[in-house]
Amino acid sequence: MPTISMFYGILILMYFYDNKKHACPHFHAEYGDQVASIAIEDGEVLSGSLPPSKMKLVQAWAEIHREDLLANWKLAIAGEPVFKIDPLR
């Protein structure tokens, strides 16, 4: 499960072959012991949770990097290496 970005204590991850449970393109965000799965297309929380302030940061970051996230999704579900994405600054 590669970490594709990190900012403000939040890890953004994308699992290989992860298109079974949530069929839509998504990524995972971790902050402390909290984890959420977030849809790439619209930022909808598919499962889990983060503190509201951290979730807003993650959703803003995802909106900025939607094209990169979709490119990584295609790589990840094919089992290929993903690339790092710039953090939120």
In this structure, the strands spanning 34-39 and 45-48 are antiparallel
C-alpha to C-alpha distances, 3 to 15, 33, 43, nearest whole angstrom: 9, 16, 18
In this structure, the strands spanning 26-31 and 45-48 are unpaired
Question: What is the per-residue pLDDT across 1-20, written as a single tens digit (0 to 9) for each?
Answer: 789 999 999 999 998 877 66
| Structural domain spans, the chain | 3-77
Tens place of pLDDT per residue across the chain (89 aa): 789 999 999 999 998 877 666 678 999 999 999 999 999 999 999 999 999 999 999 999 999 999 999 999 999 989 899 999 999 98
pTM score > 0.85 for this model?
yes
C-alpha to C-alpha distances, 41 to 9, 32, 33, 44, 69, nearest whole angstrom: 23, 25, 25, 8, 9
